[in-house]
Amino acid sequence: AQKITQTQPGMFVQEKEAVTLDCTYDTSDPSYGLFWYKQPSSGEMIFLIYQGSYDQQNATEGRYSLNFQKARKSANLVISASQLGDSAMYFCAMRDITQGGSEKLVFGKGTKLTVNP
């Protein structure tokens, strides 16, 4: 079964600095996808970035980049130049496709990021 582990319940970073949020995963599937979502205090889940297991390059989306290390089964999120608005819960997730064709996301417990001014 798929499993996502986020070992950092909370992280603090100074505004304008970079921060890395850890995510490790476990799967026996040769093909998989990894996601990061942001959940601000307002509650909605905002998609940030996606990495496919066969993608040759690490995914990047603006200030977000994914440090994908396949051999170590890690998919850490790097946020550069942190902003106060980055304060939120961050969830790492993996796409799980069942034999019946159903698709779902398997989430980690999340990391609460606080950006200090």
Q: How far is the CB of 16 from another protein (least distance, A)?
A: 29
Comparing CB distances to another protein, the nearer of 30 and 117 is 30
DSSP state of 101: S
Q: How far is the CB of 4 from another protein (least distance, A)?
A: 8
Task: Report the alpha-carbon distance of residue 95 to residue 65 in Å, rounded.
Answer: 19
Comparing CB distances to another protein, the nearer of 66 and 93 is 93
Place of tokens 């608005």: 85
Residues lying near another protein in the complex (CB under 8 A) are found at: 4, 33, 37, 42-47, 50, 52, 91, 93, 97-98, 100-110
| Region class of 56: left (phi > 0), else alpha (psi between -120 and 50), else beta | alpha
Q: How far is the CB of 47 from another protein (least distance, A)?
A: 5
Comparing CB distances to another protein, the nearer of 15 and 103 is 103
| Residue 37: count of CB within 10 angstroms of its CB | 19
Comparing CB distances to another protein, the nearer of 79 and 93 is 93
Q: How far is the CB of 66 from another protein (least distance, A)?
A: 13
Which of 40-55 are b and which e, b meaning 16 or more Cβ less than 10 Å from the residue's Cβ? Answer: eeeeeeeebbebebee
